[in-house]
A and B are shown apart, each in its own frame.
Chain A
Amino acid sequence: MRCGDFKTSYAADMTIFESNSARIMLGLFLCLLFTVPLYTPGYVLDIANRIGIAVIGAVGLNILTGFTGQISLGNAAFMAIGAFSSGYLGTRFGLPFFLCIPLAGLMTAFFGMFVGIPSLRIKGLYLAMATLAAHFIVEFLVVKWESVTGGVAGLSIPPPKLGSFAFDTDARLFFLIFVIAIMAVLFAKNLFRTKVGKAFIAIRDQAISAEVMGVNILKYKLLSFGISSFYVGVAGALVAYQAKIISPETFPITVAIDYLGMIIIGGLGSILGSIYGAVFITLLPELLRLSTSALAGPFPLLVAKLAAMKELVFGIFVVVFILFEPHGLAARWHRIRNYWKIYPF
């Protein structure tokens, strides 16, 4: 049993993983993760892929909202921009996916920084309103700018291709999505070990003293909007590849609210929390569907009512988490882990 802190260098004290066993466990988990497509049916893989995408988007939103403290309701709009720019670049210019995805991310980052400009003057609810306005502007543009977005009919996206290899099945997309998701998570984790990430947290906790300590608030707030939107834009591009057809209805405002739910339930200001939240919120409707179909036999009348309850359950979960676990699933996980670490003492 490990019962103390025996680090002998600053480098060892600053690693992501507390111990070698944690590193090995994660390695094993990742190995197992990549065998999932071998034995999993298409429907479950589809859910897994949506989880992977949600992880990228939730980490992105958490960088902005959880770590930098800037509330954003523009997540769906950012995703739409990522999806449509990737789709447009791929279909119109025939760019390969490994260019489309980062370019879509960059495009979204620029848009995000533009939306972030008011954040220097306004915060809290007012910023939420400003980002909400951005959402409706984007929604309007997506419908009206038919030459680029295909209007209400939408845009049909060919599967990403690497040479002659096409990521055209859920199993193949799984690898693409999860490789990107793992890179995204690692990058974010490192970001908050170093200067830029810490400056974000400083702005969230005490903007004035951050500035007095030499943090350029303007630059770092915009940078946070940029990085966050890059993540969300990449997630959007992946949604496009997965959905194959994207239209204005692919990115309603409820998507933005789902993402906020993910980071609240998972844990604001926690990378691990974003992952838990993404898994939880993506699985929630599936679990509800499973439970309703299980009840369909004995209570046929109940099913119709339960099916409409997804939003209700979602809302209840958010409220319950805010009341009883404001630090989210990540904090709960830490508590359980620490309990077992010193068990039975």
Chain B
Amino acid sequence: MIQLSCSDIQLNFGGVRALSGVSFEVRKGEIFAIIGPNGAGKSSMLNCISGVYTPQNGRIIFEDTDISSLPPYQRAKMGIARSFQNIALFKGMTVIDNLMIGRHLHQHAGLLQGGIYLGPARNEEIKNRGFVEEIIEFLSIQSIRNKIVGTLPYGFQKRVELARALALEPKILLLDEPMAGMNHEETEDMARFIVETNGERGITVIMIEHDMGVVMDISNAVCVLDFGKKIASGTPEEVQQDPHVIKAYLGEEDI
């Protein structure tokens, strides 16, 4: 079943064309990788899906609803969560509070109830704290749960960002270079978390990643962008053999 379909997405920044006519479809429950050289428009694509950018042209359909013109918070409400390439955590808050923001949409106590902190607001807070602790356990970040996020090392921050996105209980998860800047061990951990997220929680994952080993290992489908155009798509094996992809990555032999 197709969960997310992007058709003919076109995004311009002034005269610069970041995406021109990109279309692809993501099936429910798969790990979908977007790859491509630097500046190919991968992050722009994710920004279009999560609503940070609004494309000039094209439609994004999520579970039979056209979300092309919805603001980001409404897309989050529909179940789209994401992480950022340059970590965009709430640096002044603790890990727990960061994850509690992920529960924002699942909490309903208003201003007055919250300010008085009795009955429903309190119970709701405790219930959601329970959920957050579950995710903390899932990603094994118990030891840092009360730390201020800005003080944590990079690898942990990346993990907290994944945790925050998971706290939203998304249907689809957009990960922008989840393994960037990580050492081998951290990369393996992160790959395992992504596979578990996908397998155990049944969350569809769209992932941008430069680590080809990881991409080929864990993804079910790959889409290759170059200069804002889709140049290939298919299973990892198909993509690896595609002459356009080889050309984009390695260049062409001059004869």
Contact surface of A with B, Cβ cutoff 8 Å: 10-11, 13-14, 187-188, 190-191, 193-199, 201-202, 204-206, 208-217, 223, 227, 269
Report the minimal beta-carbon distance from A273 to chain B, rounded to whole angstroms.
Answer: 13
Q: Which residues of A contact B52 (CB under 8 A)?
A: 208, 211-212
Is the CB of B158 closer than 8 A to any CB of chain A? no
A11-B122, A201-B92, A212-B52 are contacts. A196–B81 as well, Cβ < 8 Å? no
Is the CB of B228 closer than 8 A to any CB of chain A? no
Binds A, one of B10-18, B113-121, B206-214, B243-251: B113-121
Q: Are B73 and A209 in contact (CB under 8 A)?
A: no
Q: Which residues of A contact B114 (CB under 8 A)?
A: 190-191, 193-197
Q: Are B101 and A217 in contact (CB under 8 A)?
A: no
In the complex formed, the residue of A with least CB distance to B116 is A190
Q: Are A213 and B104 in contact (CB under 8 A)?
A: yes
Which of A193, A216, A269 is B92 in contact with, Cβ under 8 Å?
Answer: A269
Q: Which residues of A contact B177 (CB under 8 A)?
A: none
In the complex formed, the residue of B with least CB distance to A216 is B73
Is the CB of B107 closer than 8 A to any CB of chain A? yes
Which of B51, B117, B130 is A193 in contact with, Cβ under 8 Å?
Answer: B117
Q: Mark B166-200, 1 if CB is under 8 A from A, else 0.
A: 00100000000000000000000000000000000
CB under 8 Å from chain A, chain B span 100-145 = 100-105, 107, 109-111, 113-117, 121-122, 125-126, 129-130, 133
Q: Are A212 and B115 in contact (CB under 8 A)?
A: no
Report the minimal beta-carbon distance from B164 to chain A, rounded to whole angstroms.
Answer: 7
Q: Which residues of A contact B73 (CB under 8 A)?
A: 211-217
Report the minimal beta-carbon distance from B150 to chain A, rounded to whole angstroms.
Answer: 9
Given contacts A188-B115, A212-B50, 20 further A-B contacts (CB under 8 A): A10-B130, A187-B116, A190-B116, A190-B117, A191-B114, A191-B115, A194-B109, A195-B104, A196-B110, A198-B104, A201-B92, A202-B90, A206-B89, A209-B84, A209-B89, A209-B90, A211-B51, A211-B73, A212-B52, A214-B77
Which of B76, B111, B113, B116 is A214 in contact with, Cβ under 8 Å?
Answer: B76
Which of A195, A204, A211 is B109 in contact with, Cβ under 8 Å?
Answer: A195
Q: Which residues of A contact B51 (CB under 8 A)?
A: 211-212
Query: Can you list 11 A-B contacts with CB-CB less than 8 angstroms, sorted by A residue number?
Result: A11-B126, A14-B129, A191-B115, A194-B113, A194-B114, A195-B100, A196-B115, A210-B90, A211-B52, A227-B111, A269-B92
In the complex formed, the residue of A with least CB distance to B51 is A212
The docked-state distance in angstroms from the alpha carbon of A208 to that of B51 is: 10
A10-B130, A210-B101, A215-B101 are contacts. A201–B117 as well, Cβ < 8 Å? no
Is the CB of B226 closer than 8 A to any CB of chain A? no
The docked-state distance in angstroms from the alpha carbon of A194 to that of B127 is: 12
CB under 8 Å from chain A, chain B span 31-53 = 50-52
The docked-state distance in angstroms from the alpha carbon of A223 to that of B93 is: 20
The docked-state distance in angstroms from the alpha carbon of A214 to that of B130 is: 20
Residue picked from B90, B110, B164, most chain A C-beta under 10 Å: B90
Is the CB of B71 closer than 8 A to any CB of chain A? yes
The docked-state distance in angstroms from the alpha carbon of A248 to that of B169 is: 53
Report the minimal beta-carbon distance from B196 to chain A, rounded to whole angstroms.
Answer: 22
Q: Are A213 and B164 in contact (CB under 8 A)?
A: yes
Report the minimal beta-carbon distance from B208 to chain A, rounded to whole angstroms.
Answer: 15
Q: Which residues of A contact B159 (CB under 8 A)?
A: none
In the complex formed, the residue of B with least CB distance to A69 is B92
Report the minimal beta-carbon distance from B156 to chain A, rounded to whole angstroms.
Answer: 17
The docked-state distance in angstroms from the alpha carbon of A30 to that of B100 is: 32
Q: Which residues of B contact A227 (CB under 8 A)?
A: 111
Q: Which residues of B contact A216 (CB under 8 A)?
A: 71, 73
Q: Are B101 and A198 in contact (CB under 8 A)?
A: yes
Which of A190, A214, A223 is B104 in contact with, Cβ under 8 Å?
Answer: A214
Is the CB of B88 closer than 8 A to any CB of chain A? yes
Q: Which residues of A contact B164 (CB under 8 A)?
A: 213
The docked-state distance in angstroms from the alpha carbon of A11 to that of B122 is: 8
Which of B72, B93, B109, B126 is A212 in contact with, Cβ under 8 Å?
Answer: B72
In the complex formed, the residue of B with least CB distance to A195 is B107
Q: Which residues of B contact A197 (CB under 8 A)?
A: 114
A201-B93, A206-B89 are contacts. A214–B105 as well, Cβ < 8 Å? yes
In the complex formed, the residue of A with least CB distance to B93 is A201
Is the CB of B201 closer than 8 A to any CB of chain A? no
The docked-state distance in angstroms from the alpha carbon of A201 to that of B107 is: 16
Q: Which residues of A contact B50 (CB under 8 A)?
A: 212
Q: Which residues of B contact A215 (CB under 8 A)?
A: 73, 101, 104
Q: Which residues of A contact B117 (CB under 8 A)?
A: 190, 193-194
